[in-house]
Amino acid sequence: MKALRILVVVSLLVLSCQSSKQQVVDYNDFAYLEFDIEQLQEGYVNQNYTVAEVVQAYLERIDQIDHNGPELNSVIITNPDALAIAAELDALDTAQRGPLFGVPVLLKDNIDTADKMPTTAGSRALMNSYPLNDSYIATKLREAGAVILGKANLSEWANFRGEHSSSGWSGIVGQTKNPYVLTRNPCGSSSGSGVAVSANLTVLAIGTETNGSIVCPSNNNGIVGIKPTVGLLSRSGIIPISFTQDTPGPMARTLKDATIALGAMVGIDASDSKTLESKDHFLTDYTPFLKEDGLKGKRIGWYKASFGDFDKVDEVTSKAIELMKSKGAEIIEIESIAPRGTGSHSFQVMLHEYKDGLNDYFASLGDNAPIKSLEELIAFNEKDSIELKFFNQAYLKMALATEGMNSKTYEDHLKALKEGSQDQGIDRVMDELHLDAIIAPTGGPAWNTDWLNGDNYHIGSSSSAAWAGYPNITIPMGAIHGLPLGMSFFGRAWSEPQLIEIAYGFEQHSKERIVPTFRANDSE
């Protein structure tokens, strides 16, 4: 009898193990895994599939992975009209197809669309806020033939609401998870955009950045991000923080895809005066600058402020530097860029511009706006049971206390910011050293998400370009224990062509993009 009981127990254990194995799901068993724009559109030309079939597949993957399975929480809402839009595109003649024909795109949910999707900034205060018009960026994407799949989650109010916040958390859907290790943070504020691209829930996403909000989630999620010169892409119809520093930008798995998207979105918009400065600077096609030998003969400044802070990041960075040298780049070390105090001026500019920008945005929503002023927003949060559960709204209150953009205090900070970040910052360094670009590690590996203590950044390099309003491109450069790291390439205003050339030269020889496998924790 004892032997029989042992045999029964062993048999049950074997059946249990077999059952567990059968339940294992390969979340990367996807027909369009790692597809780029060129590959996708070749399939359309060859009639291997239709736009409707592709869109349906991505919608099913969002449901499988984002709303179920690993539950990434990167997508707030999918577009109820996505399949209808796809069918309309399928009916077009080949000659009518734009540069983003049939390409699925997710928009960060601070970018307006005048359709059946609200624009929320992740806030419960705007859960039922339906803009009256498309943002300029949404219009350009539709004209280029893209299919807007839905809205991506974000750090609420683009991570400028309160102190000790967790990147990727919003009151609407909660915490976005990193697709490499689910307990780790995706960074923000374009968290959902970065995660969705990395997890192959979309081909492209559009994020926004004031300081780090495109490049940091691109770093943590192992993708490419382009933060353009402020004014290259319109901000009209985007919930603002800073008139001086805000910009949308493309996020993709390859620089080529991000470059195609960049060219499709440029243009002068009468509703955004910053875009007037882009006249004679923007191009509708940046792909001619995708050169494999883009590093050859370039003088590149290596900004070493964070070197020595994290030895494993130093190792990956040093390897990337040696690769650039081997491909013909000359590397010049830089210890500092902007003078001390520049960051403080930036913060004050952001607060003053935030107050006026938010009030103007609420006014644009018309009579049916759920929130009509910054004061109303603060009052809503104080009464809500979820919004202030984990962190405060100190920045909203600080913005309310400013005199806005018509004050001398604001003008003084703005002048000091421009002098420190541009004249005495990036422009000075590049002039003195005759540089073509500046590089630095974009950030460290993703940290563990912590709702009580907030983000735990190791290093970051976004500020110099963000304060100046200058372009910044991040490219995957390696990994630490399976967590990706990026290299940033930044430089002067309107230097996107040169930065693309240099960054592409690096990308094509490093090829460090890693497909995430949704590990539950670090021990897997």
Residues with a catalytic annotation lie at 108, 189, 213
Cα torsion 277, 414, 424, 472: sign = negative
Dist. CA 104–CA 77, nearest whole Å? 14
Query: Reduced to 3 states, what is the DSSP secondary structure of residue 501?
Result: helix
User: Would you give the DSSP letter of residue 448?
Assistant: B
Return d(Cα 316, Cα 473) in angstroms, integer.
Answer: 18
Provide the β-strand partners of residue 152.
Answer: 75, 108
- Token look-up 């929320």 returns 120
Contact 35, 55 (CB under 8 A): no
Q: Which of 119, 220, 120 is nearest to 177 (CA)?
A: 220
- Furthest-apart CA pair in the chain: how many Å? 92
* Strand blocks (E) in 12-103: 75-78
Q: Which element (helix H / strand E) includes 143? A: helix 136-143
- Check if the beta carbon of residue 175 is closer than 8 Å to that of residue 192: no
**Nearest in space to 122 (alpha carbons), one of 210, 218, 191, 42:** 191
Q: How far is CA 244 from the centre of its chain?
A: 19
CA angle in degrees (0–180, nearest 5) for 295-263-320: 25
- DSSP letter at 430 equals H
280 three-class SS: coil
What's the CA gap between 162 and 169, in Å, rounded? 12
HEC letters along 236-278: CCECCCCCCCCEEEEEECCHHHHHHHHHHHCCCCCCCHHHHHH
- Which bin fits 200, alpha (ψ -120 to 50), beta or left (φ > 0)? left
Instruction: Give the integer Cα–Cα distance in Å for 230 and 247.
Output: 6
